[in-house]
A and B are shown apart, each in its own frame.
Chain A
Amino acid sequence: MDPRYEAVIGLEIHVQLLTASKIFSAAATRYGAEPNRQVSFVDAALPGTLPVLNREAVTAAIRFGLAVGGKIARSSRFARKHYFYPDLPKGYQISQYDQPIISGGGLTIRTDRGEKRIRLIRAHLEEDAGKSLHEDFHGMSGIDLNRAGTPLLEIVTAPDLSTPTEAALFARALHTLVRWIGICDGNLQEGSFRIDANVSVRPRGETRLGTRREIKNLNSFRFLEQAIAYEIDWQIEALTAGQTIEQATVLFDPHRGETRVMRSKEEAHDYRYFPDPDLLPLIIDEEWIEVERCQLPELPDALRARLIADHALPEADAHLLTSDKGLADFYLAAVACTGVSHAKSCANWLLVEILGRLHKENRSITEAPLTPQQLADLVLRIADGTISSAAGKRLLAAWWSGDPRSVDSLIADLDLAQMRDTALIDRLVAEAIAAHPKAVAEYRAGKEKALNTLVGAVMKASQGKANPQEVRDRLLAALIAEDSSPPLS
């Protein structure tokens, strides 16, 4: 990027709310149903139908408002936004216009240069449109109204973002938050979290905003970053070439890695907003807000700070554990069993072994075939020396494959207990020294690594049940003792 210019970026994010039914009808909102099977008379805009607001959607918006520290309007209202399109059955979308339910608030992102607060302008409730399917219909289009009326929260940031990386960091933080507070499933592929980016550039030092172009419908964080980066370069190039930027809406083509114009300013709709007379003003009382405040979980930022301060976790671990509510819940449940003194060990096993397995199997933490209690049992048995880490992994594998036995039965049945018979270990040590004269000689010649051969031999002879650290200690003691004994004449 040309250092003489800077970019100004704001995001608009459509979050599909996790309600059982639609925002203005009783039809289900499940994704992936047969086309047009989740369409009520209201969704199809049959003559005579009227919208009735779903309380659950309002609850979700209140939770969001509380989570970002925004202002929750005690009175807001719905407006009609008009345009003709076959997947918009009423010819208008019910949205909020001059009186959104949430205004203000913000979210902190962590960049390489430290923390940055991104302000939110507003968040408002609206209904989703249906889907137009342009393939497979031989010159015609198919209309699926299953999505029509799905509740959305449209979240609009201030133009506080300066780089593609910051935009992606913000989008990820918001993505974490909406799943964290349980208002969105966050599934980008299914369109539960859709990002539009408003991008403009200006000479560094200029205070007025440049003309913006809006990139529509980005459905991955990677595309978001790529599209903004492309757009910034394109705009700077145009400006340095002496051209002016025309306000426009553009689409990102991930295959070609570039944006192209969808419609120019002249083609912009006149949406003819006016308050929807079918719906009363939305009144939210203090009590409703307080109920939601009490039910709101500890938020990621607060938990992250607590894990660093009280659980003594490194920042990286705390960051990772608070990237997903399910992960954090799993961790906290395990630590609740072990006590905070084993926090680091719980975090290690969770972030390395368990996440590793889940990742390989493409599963989420909520699908893990392991309970937090089992993780706690495992960590505690290692900590008290009952089993080795290696045995811990075998324990984990057993549970992973569905073995229902308790930790102690498994240790007994699989014979995983660590060897505590010092005399036996000393005997195995002596045998190893006798059997590997070459390694002994190398060690004595100063090759520290040769010791590992001996440790490995003892571990093997103990069938993995000896404690490797203890074996190492006994080996060293034995080798020193041999040194100091009088030479055989």
Chain B
Amino acid sequence: MTPLSSLSELLAALAQGKATAQSLVACAHARAKALQPTLNAFISLAEPEQSAAAARRADQRRAHGVEAPLLGIPIAHKDLFVTTDLPTTAASRMLLGYRSPFDATVVERLAAAGAIAIGKTNLDEFAMGSGNEHSFFGPARNPWDPTRVPGGSSGGSAAAVAAAIVPAATGTDTGGSVRQPAAHCGITGLKPTYGRVSRYGIIAYASSLDQAGLFARSAWDIALLLRQIAGHDPRDSTSVDCPVPDYPAILATLPPPRDRPLVGWRIGIVPSFLAADGVQSDILAALEAARRTYEQLGAAIVECTLPAAELAIPAYYIIAPAEASSNLARYDGVRYGHRTERYDDLFAMYCQSRAEGFGWEVKRRILIGTFVLSHGYYDAYYRKAQQVRRLVTDGYRSALEQCDLLLTPVTATTAWPIGAKANPVEEYLADLFTIGPSLAGLPALAHPIGFDAAGLPIGAQIIGRPFDEARLLAAAHIYQQATDWHRALPPLAHL
């Protein structure tokens, strides 16, 4: 057991008495602090005494025979989940110093499972961005190359897991905010089906798309975590009341890779995606290799079409800003959050507080959203975008009738240098492959499949049918038993 071990390795060490929660938490804390100047992965860290006390309690509980699935495991939460123990900022000046009086459901469930949150991770302000560059606290950095972005918006969580600060972290995914940073950082990331995990306590960006997600170093570890956070929550009307399978048990019963466990599975590939403009050649090569691996594991490969897929980006960049402009209306400086010191009347207080509190990307999306919902424009934009969303969804659903899973790239390029994407539209186009499943509400998982010439990680996305996370996890788990990409660690992880 080393600090670089995965979640399941740490759990085994704890169970065998080879590690204590106190040692794991102290180590995570120390690594977080040591790597903070390089990665800027955290916005806030728990006081060392505070997390040490929690770890001590976890060790005592274990000594008393208490069984909790994640007892004593250090984790981190994207700073978009509200927490009582730590401040919640959404990486915005608007919420500087805000302390929530309640915990998000996901936070509550992981704590109940015994996990210990050591900090809150960096992100794009209010989850709006693809590179974690739009944070009031400065950009988070990629552990594989700290001059590059870790991806976004959940960049800090991805960086913290990739750098082996914590074995697992939460994220949120609206248009790719878990899958894309997972790919850029060489780790495994899951966006569950919309409705699978409660949104209660996640600061809303685009409510019809937001979904809690997970980062870890393997599909197996994600299965352990998903089992804990999935399931209906009466506080979120859009969370779905359907049974949560025992994901780890399902993975445990899969035959080994040599028995070709994927025989009978059909994996769909989308030729038009692979022919899309600007897809980096090493990504195409890595994806081809991953396809062959899946084939060797028994899967049949089928070609699928996604007719309206190219419309996903424009539809997304109408729907998401529209909902964002509404969700962010509550930040008015009246009850909490930033209030300007310079105002003479109510109107000026609103304008100035919001002008000072929000960053440029947030303002841009609020303006776009306000515009597309305005009287006389609703039909041309919002309604049309919803119609496109329906087309995109139908496309994915019918493709998933011809196959069990779709295999696509996560990104068109590997992680870009910080500051390289000066044009917002260029940044928006980076979400080409991840936005479709978001609009369709489908579960999708990103897992590492290789490196580019510069040594930057490449990920593949597998997309499943609604509430079929078990199949995604199973496919990725089988792949990861047959390959080693997910075991690679960036050099700076070896402190």
Mark A residues whose CB is within 8 Å of B.
41, 44-53, 80, 82, 84, 86, 89-92, 143, 270, 272-274, 277-280
Contact = CB atoms under 8 A, between A and B. Distances in A.
A47 B100 contact: yes
Contact of B332 (A44, A86, A279): A86
Contacts of B329: 82, 84, 90-92
Interface in B413-470: none
Interface in B77-104: 81-82, 88, 90, 95, 98, 100-102, 104
The 10 lowest CB-CB distance pairs between A and B, nearest first, are A91-B329, A277-B208, A272-B373, A277-B207, A48-B201, A48-B82, A45-B330, A47-B203, A270-B375, A86-B334
Interface stretch (B213-221, B229-237, B283-291, B474-482): B229-237
B204 interface: yes
Nearest to B329: A91
Nearest to A26: B235
B101 A48 contact: no
B102 A89 contact: no
Given A47-B88, A82-B326, A143-B334, A278 B101 contact: no
Nearest to B330: A45
Contact of A86 (B200, B208, B346): B346
Nearest to B81: A48
B168 interface: no
7 contacts: A45-B335, A52-B236, A84-B332, A91-B328, A91-B332, A270-B375, A277-B323
Given A41-B102, A274-B373, A48 B326 contact: no
Contact of A278 (B95, B237, B336): B237
A113 to B, nearest CB: 42
A272 B207 contact: no
A86 B382 CA distance: 27
Given A86-B334, A90-B329, A274 B382 contact: yes
| Most central of B81, B204, B207, B326 by chain A CB within 10 Å | B326
A85 to B, nearest CB: 8
B102 A270 contact: no
Contact of A274 (B88, B336, B378): B378
Contacts of A53: 237
A274 B322 contact: yes
Contacts of B296: none
Contacts of A84: 329, 332, 350
A82 B326 CA distance: 7
Contacts of B330: 45, 47, 89-91
B365 interface: no
Contact of A47 (B95, B322, B334, B382): B95
Nearest to B126: A47
B326 A80 contact: yes
Contacts of A143: 334
B251 to A, nearest CB: 31
B23 interface: no
B323 A50 contact: no
A25 to B, nearest CB: 10
Q: Is the interface of A mostly helix, strand, loop or mixed?
A: loop
Nearest to B375: A270
B238 interface: yes
A143 B329 CA distance: 17
B199 interface: yes
Nearest to A132: B346
Contacts of A46: 82, 100-102, 336
A92 B88 CA distance: 23
B202 interface: yes
Contacts of A48: 81-82, 88, 100, 102, 104, 200-204
B480 to A, nearest CB: 33
Contacts of A44: 335
A206 to B, nearest CB: 29
B450 to A, nearest CB: 37
A247 B261 CA distance: 72
Contacts of B88: 47-48
Contacts of B208: 277
B200 A50 contact: yes
B280 interface: no
Contacts of A90: 329-330
A47 B101 CA distance: 10
B81 to A, nearest CB: 8
B374 interface: yes
B147 interface: no
Nearest to B198: A50
A140 to B, nearest CB: 11
A274 B378 CA distance: 9
A277 B202 CA distance: 14
Contacts of B378: 272-274
Nearest to A278: B207
A280 B334 contact: no
B110 to A, nearest CB: 15
A104 B326 CA distance: 31
Interface string B100-137: 11101000000000000000000000000000000000
Given A89-B335, A274-B373, A278-B238, A49 B200 contact: yes
Interface string B370-404: 10011100100010000000000000000000000
Contacts of A273: 373, 378
B219 to A, nearest CB: 28
A481 B334 CA distance: 94
Nearest to A84: B350
A272 B375 contact: yes
B161 to A, nearest CB: 23
B374 A279 contact: no
A233 B375 CA distance: 34
Given A46-B82, A50-B236, A91-B332, 7 more contacts: A47-B100, A52-B237, A89-B330, A91-B330, A272-B375, A278-B204, A278-B207
A169 B378 CA distance: 40
Contacts of B382: 274
A279 B238 CA distance: 7
A383 B328 CA distance: 72
Contacts of B90: 47
Contacts of A82: 326, 329, 373
Nearest to A44: B335
A245 to B, nearest CB: 22
Contacts of A270: 374-375
| Most central of B101, B237, B323 by chain A CB within 10 Å | B237
A263 to B, nearest CB: 14
Contacts of A41: 101-102
Contacts of B332: 84, 86, 91
Contacts of B202: 48
B237 A51 contact: yes
A484 B482 CA distance: 134
A370 B394 CA distance: 68
Contacts of B201: 48
Interface string B238-251: 10000000000000
Given A90-B330, A274-B322, A47 B238 contact: no
Contacts of A49: 200
Contacts of B203: 47-48
A47 B237 contact: no
Contacts of B207: 277-278
B39 to A, nearest CB: 26
